[in-house]
Amino acid sequence: GENVEQHPSTLSVQEGDSAVIKCTYSDSASNYFPWYKQELGKRPQLIIDIRSNVGEKKDQRIAVTLNKTAKHFSLHITETQPEDSAVYFCGSAGHTGGFKTIFGAGTRLFVKA
């Protein structure tokens, strides 16, 4: 079945540094890739997404890149701040699986002040 692998599981950076989280998906039919941020005890919330017809998308300090050939996509956070500390999940969705989203195992990001 479809699978999404996410690395690293934990990431610690100094405030102001960049953070990169990488994901790999298995279903070549996947065409929608969301990234969610989950703060402790709260629901996941979408921070950025990208579709398969686009290679890169940016929203202020957050960017996502997609390499369809390699089936890789990555989240880039620049100028990290303590409030960026949370668990981040990547997801993959596509026509093969209907509208279901398969998520990676998550990355716990710590931003040290």
Closest distance of CB 16 from other proteins, Å = 28
Q: In what order do the strands lie in the sheet with 19-25?
A: 4-7, 19-25, 72-77, 62-67, 56-59
In the bound state with other proteins, the residue whose beta carbon lies nearer, of 31 and 78, is 31
Q: Which residues sit at the interface with other proteins, rule CB under 8 A?
A: 1, 6, 9, 31-32, 34, 42-46, 49, 89, 91, 93-95, 98-106
Q: How many CA atoms within 13 Å lie on the side-chain side of 60?
A: 4
Residue 74 vs 88, nearer CB to other proteins: 88
For residues 84 and 88, which CB has a smaller minimum distance to other proteins in the complex? 88
Q: Please state, as a whole number, how many other Cβ atoms lie within 10 Å of the Cβ of residue 24.
A: 18
Instruction: Compute the least distance from the CB of residue 76 to other proteins, in Å.
Output: 20
CB 69 to other proteins: min, Å: 21
61 to 8, 49, 110: CA distances (angstroms): 20, 14, 16
Nearer to other proteins, 33 or 80 (CB): 33
Instruction: Give the max Cα distance, the chain.
Output: 43
